[in-house]
Amino acid sequence: MELSRNILLWASNNEWMKKHIPERKFVRRAVKRFMPGENVTDAIEAGRELMKNGIPATFTYLGENINELIEAENTAKQYVELLERIYKEQLDIEVSLKLTQIGFDLSFDKTLEYFEQVTHTAKKYGNNVFIDIEDSHYVDKTLTFYKEVKKDYDNAGLCLQSYLYRTMDDLKNMIDIKPWIRLVKGAYKEPADIAFPEKRKVDENYLMLSKYLLRQTKNEGIRVAYGTHDIKLQEQIKLEAERIGLEKENLEFQMLYGIKEREQMKLAEEGYNIRTLISYGKFWYPWYMRRLAERPANVGFVLKNLFSN
Ligand SMILES: Cc1cc2nc3c(=O)[nH]c(=O)nc-3n(C[C@H](O)[C@H](O)[C@H](O)COP(=O)(O)OP(=O)(O)OC[C@H]3O[C@@H](n4cnc5c(N)ncnc54)[C@H](O)[C@@H]3O)c2cc1C
């Protein structure tokens, strides 16, 4: 299991594969399970379907580690146009983006400028923007970035990972700025000196962080989204919320499009906030490989597509 995860995460960064795998028709067919399509209109259609069942969405326009600032500028423009469209069509869709998609490898200040274009537009329309968290090289810089953004934008949130030993300290060190947090387990390959190598420990840490965050929501009104498909963990979080007297409407789960759809619906029916993250765009390869790595059995699904016409 760990070996397949490592191979898939290695493949997610392989330049040759990045270029050639997305050309394969059977892979393109398999990707549809996690992504309604490459165009924003495909994503909006999928979002509308979910909204009929009381499930709002978060949109991510796929891309990461760009090499030229012009690409960052274009990405920021895409998000601004998306936010305008969301507003015009009165949809309950937030956005979430990767900082390396808007120039983080190239310039901190330029990234801030592009991010502010997006978050400013979102604020104008009463909408919100989350920052995805990437591999551990970016964590310090991302925290500094988020603190800077938070000075002017209360509509920005940040994703953090429970597989990193440091996350509780990171949370405590920024709790005074009332961060908005999306808590996830973490999707990258990290060394054992900075991240729990055992899944059990990652899950335990997730619960510990959740208990801390639930109290922050209860006492300080901090928005937290629990980004996990782990139903057992979700149940533990619900119980803890109940124990401390936190109402269902103050508890939010987020899950990915195409994964555990029935459970997503059930959460909505039970009265919890549930938001589905929908990704779209042409640059889906590394993102898709990380989805396969989360559940290597998904590779079987890709192979099935190889043999269907
Ligand atoms: C809304 C959201 C936003 C995220 N944003 C980020 C981010 O910014 N940075 C980051 O590093 N990671 C992000 N992730 C990914 C996250 O870090 C995990 O890699 C991923 O969610 C898998 O862990 P899990 O907690 O869902 O559960 P696990 O404990 O891995 O699995 C629980 C159950 O869900 C099923 N499951 C999990 N993943 C899949 C899958 N891909 N396909 C099919 N079944 C699956 C498992 O089979 C199992 O039954 C995000 C996840 C979500 C839900």
* Ligand 1 atom nearest to 202, measured from its CA: 29
**What does pTM read for this prediction?**
0.94
Q: Which of 252, 228, 227, 224 is nearest to 238 (CA)?
A: 252
Residue 229 has pLDDT above 60, yes or no: yes
| Domain parsing of the chain, residue ranges | 36-283
Residue 272 has pLDDT above 80, yes or no: yes
Q: Is 229 in the pocket of ligand 1 (CB under 6 A)?
A: yes
Q: Is 256 in the pocket of ligand 1 (CB under 6 A)?
A: yes
* Ligand 1 atom nearest to 182, measured from its CA: 3
Q: What is the per-residue pLDDT for 1? A: 67
Average pLDDT value for the chain:
93
Mutating to test ligand 1, I would choose from 184, 199, 236, 257 the residue with most ligand atoms within 8 A of its C-beta, which is 184
For ligand 1, atom 35, the nearest C-alpha belongs to 229
Q: Is 133 in the pocket of ligand 1 (CB under 6 A)?
A: yes
Tell me which residues are annotated as active site: 132, 182
For ligand 1, atom 3, the nearest C-alpha belongs to 227
Question: Domain 36-283 carries which CATH code?
Answer: 3.20.20.220
Q: What is the per-residue pLDDT for 282? A: 85
For ligand 1, atom 25, the nearest C-alpha belongs to 228
**pLDDT tens figures, 153-184:** 999 999 999 999 999 999 999 999 999 999 99
Q: Is 259 in the pocket of ligand 1 (CB under 6 A)?
A: yes
As a whole number of angstroms, the distance between CA 244 and CA 233 comes to: 17
